[in-house]
Amino acid sequence: MKLFSTLVLLSAFGLAAGPLQAAQPDPGLTGCAAKRSAIENQLKEARAHNNKGQIDGLETALKEHTEHCTDSSLRKQREQKVLDARHEVSQRERDLDKAMKKGDPEKINKRKDKLAESRKELKDAKDELDK
């Protein structure tokens, strides 16, 4: 039974990876060009699967992107995301400190998990900043 569960889980991750790979921009692009490329790649994938709802949403996103995206505004958004993530990490660290002072092992573990999640989001935001 455990083997079956593992196979189902791995299959689910494999299926989920397809759309994520399609969302990747073409190599060598940065800023708005990379974002546009990622949207176009998602749109190709949606059309290949004849997913009408997703096609409509992506066409709208592409139109909005074309009309409003500038590299400087995109950079500012990404910088703001990094700042927000840093704030979240700081808050989670304070929460963990409080839990450690109280000594409740369950809360400590929960706060450690939340902190790890926030740190991953910060790393992802920093990685996105360089794209």
Whether residue 75 sits in one domain with residue 64: no
Which residues neighbour 62 within 8 Å (Cβ) at sequence distance 6 or greater?
A: 36, 39, 40, 43
Whether residue 65 sits in one domain with residue 87: no
Domain count, the chain: 2
> CA separation (Å) from 75 to 28, 69, 89, 117, 120?
17, 10, 21, 23, 20
Give the separation between CA 128 and CA 120, rounded to whole angstroms: 12
Helix (DSSP H) and strand (DSSP E) numbers for the chain: 5, 0
Element (H, E) at 30: none
Quickly state the pLDDT bin for 5 (edges 50, 70, 90). very low
**Model confidence over 67-109: pLDDT tens digits?**
999 989 989 999 999 999 999 999 999 999 999 999 999 999 9
**pTM over 0.85, yes/no:** no
Would residue 124 count as lying in a domain?
yes
Residue 124 DSSP SS3: helix
